[in-house]
Amino acid sequence: MRQAFDPTSESYGHGNNKTGETKRSILHPDLKTIPRQPQVQLIGNGIVYDHEGLAEAKLKHPHHRTFHKTVVPQEDDLAYTRFYRWHIDAALYDLAPPKVTTLYSLTVPRGESQTLRYDDGTGDELKVPLGTTAFVSGATMFDILPKELKSLAVRSKVKYAPHPYVWMAPAHAMSTGLGIETEGLELPLEELPPWEEEKIKVFPICWKNPVTGNLHFQVHPCGVQELIVDPLPAGADREGALYPDGAHLKDLKEVRDIIYKMQRPAIAPELVYPHDWDEKDLVLFHNRGVLHSVVGAFAPDQVRAFHQCNLAASSDPVGPSEEDVAKYA
Ligand SMILES: [Fe+2]
């Protein structure tokens, strides 16, 4: 079914049988590969027996305490939760980001809803069903930006780190799950598995929807390393413009602060769609048009089993057209 959206794509979004490149990747513990269909991953929580050739799969729903710099206190755990990590499903190195991801729920534990905290000083909270998957629109993320940030967005590209999930493994996320705290913990590039400059991904911030023509703000904030800004096009209004003559920003904190400022408004509680899972729900989502996050905390005996599938695309996403840049820059 996934191939219907991209007939020539075959391998899993992170590469077949080498999830996240190495065991040091932060993705490694979350995904169990189905042997006869390696593009499909078994994800969830608790122990699943005799499933599709896997005699026993110990699954662990990602918990924010393993990733965030600060945590919800132990006594509030299970009542309160956080967005684990806002992301696009993508290797962000070598392979092109999948167009569509499918999630199919086999076993869904029933339980009380939880209160999701942002813990960023805003007081924002969101009531969410247990173990929801949260989605926000990348088109809305772009649409609600003020003029000067729209201009910056259509002129900018982000450069991702090589093997970003290994690079970021020692680092901690922000309390909103929308990027990494800058503490200098990322692995030095020379300690990463072998990498090649040509395989590093440099993507436009905005990806053009091939059907609607809309621009979607599609940045995986955790993996970003540098920001490359084109100068304003000839004749554009320079009043209030950011980096009117272009820039290549390499200071990690500065780059992250800019991306965060642009993305945070779109994860406001009223803009989040938290899916309330039932068993046998099949969700297909436009991975090049939305960001999503794992949410929730399960007790060890709550069993949840999902199939997840996405395929590395046959080509990279396309950025804003010249007309888009002329319109927004
Ligand atoms: Fe995902």
Give 107-147 pLDDT, tens digit per residue.
999 889 999 999 999 999 999 999 999 999 999 999 999 99
pLDDT, position 23: 72
CATH assignment of 2-328?
3.60.130.10
Element (H, E) at 291: strand 290-294
Centre of ligand 1 to C-alpha 95, Å, is 16
pLDDT, position 20: 47
Prediction pTM value: 0.95
Task: Tell me which residues of the chain have a pLDDT lower than 50.
Answer: 17, 19-20
- Around Cβ 55, how many Cβ atoms within 10 Å? 8
pLDDT, position 24: 78
Rg (C-alpha) for the chain, rounded Å, is 19
Distance CA 309, CA 100 (A): 9
Centre of ligand 1 to C-alpha 88, Å, is 6
Quick one: three-class SS letters along 168-231?
Answer: CCCCCECCCCCCECCCCCCCCHHHCCCCCHHHECEEECEEECCCCCCEEECCCHHHEEEEEECC
Centre of ligand 1 to C-alpha 309, Å, is 10
Centre of ligand 1 to C-alpha 189, Å, is 25
Identity at 39, one-letter amino acid code: Q
pLDDT, position 143: 98
Centre of ligand 1 to C-alpha 89, Å, is 5
Centre of ligand 1 to C-alpha 328, Å, is 30
319-328 pLDDT per residue, tens: 999 999 999 9
Centre of ligand 1 to C-alpha 176, Å, is 16
Give the DSSP per-residue string, 133-182: EEEEEHHHHHHTS-HHHHHHHHHEEEEEPSSHHHHTTTS-B-TTSSSB--
Residues 320, 154 contacting (CB under 8 angstroms): yes
Centre of ligand 1 to C-alpha 86, Å, is 8
Name the one residue in this structure whose structure tokens are 């993508």.
90
Q: What backbone phi and psi angles, to 5 degrees, belong to 304?
A: -135, 130
User: Which sign does the torsion angle of CA 58, 111, 175, 307 carry?
Assistant: positive
Quick one: three-class SS letters along 2-27?
Answer: HHHHCCCCCCECCCCCCCCCCCCCCC
Q: SS3 for 231?
A: coil
pLDDT, position 302: 93
Distance CA 309, CA 13 (A): 8
Centre of ligand 1 to C-alpha 317, Å, is 18
Centre of ligand 1 to C-alpha 323, Å, is 32
- Count of all residues that appear for the chain in the document: 329
Centre of ligand 1 to C-alpha 55, Å, is 25
Output the six-digit token pair for 248.
């290549």
Distance CA 190, CA 221 (A): 22
Q: SS3 for 313?
A: strand
Centre of ligand 1 to C-alpha 293, Å, is 7
